[in-house]
Amino acid sequence: MWSADDVVRASVRRQGEGLSVAQVADKGAEAERRERETRQQLNSPAVDRGPYDVDPEDLAEQWVARHAEWRRVAALMDGQGWSVYSTEQDVQGSTWARERDEQREGALARRAAWQRERQDARDELRAQVWLSADVSRRLRAITARTGLEPEQVLAQLADRVRIDDDGALTVDAFTPH
């Protein structure tokens, strides 16, 4: 759902809160070193990785994004004259965080709607009914008078069915609409 940049921005905001200029510089230097190391791994011959090893391309992408974000934070602190990083004062970072939250809420809402739709689909019943010629003629006559489809009349009939204590089915008189 989120790009590597989104994940890294959220992580840097969490890790960066309250860090001094020197600590942010250290984080940036570490990210730069890790970026360089992962690039070297990508350029080296392929090594047989185990099933739980991280994809080196994904890891490299994450360190590139992390390095860029620490540089942005360091430049912001330098430009604003901050001695300590504050997520509340970081307007761009806060905007990105809000956008991520909105994106997440939208995705959760879409997922919930999709799940409701799937549940509704499981609760629906589609049936093919074979009627005798006499019953079929009567149903066609009813649909001709009401302007409804045969399925609609049968659905309204099924909506009104009651089961008595002895298991008998009954339907009170009604006019299809």
- Which pLDDT does position 72 carry in this prediction? 94
The pTM assigned to this predicted structure is 0.59
Residue 175 lies in a domain: no
Residue 128 lies in a domain: no
Residues 119, 151 share a domain = no
| CB contact at 8 A, 30 and 117 | no
- Which pLDDT does position 143 carry in this prediction? 93
- Which pLDDT does position 59 carry in this prediction? 84
Residues 25, 104 share a domain = yes
In which region does residue 155 sit, left (phi positive, over 0), alpha (psi from -120 to 50) or beta (all else)?
A: alpha
Range of the domain at 99: 4-123
- Which pLDDT does position 133 carry in this prediction? 94
* Cα–Cα distance for residue pair 25/77, rounded to 1 Å: 10
The number of domains in the chain is 2
Residues 72, 98 share a domain = yes
- Both tokens of 124, joined, read 């629906």
Q: Where would I find the H helices in 124-162? A: 133-146, 150-159
- Which pLDDT does position 123 carry in this prediction? 79
Residues in the chain with pLDDT < 70? 1, 46-54
Q: Which amino acid is at 151?
A: E
- Which pLDDT does position 61 carry in this prediction? 87
Residues 96, 38 share a domain = yes
Q: Where would I find the H helices in 44-90? A: 56-80
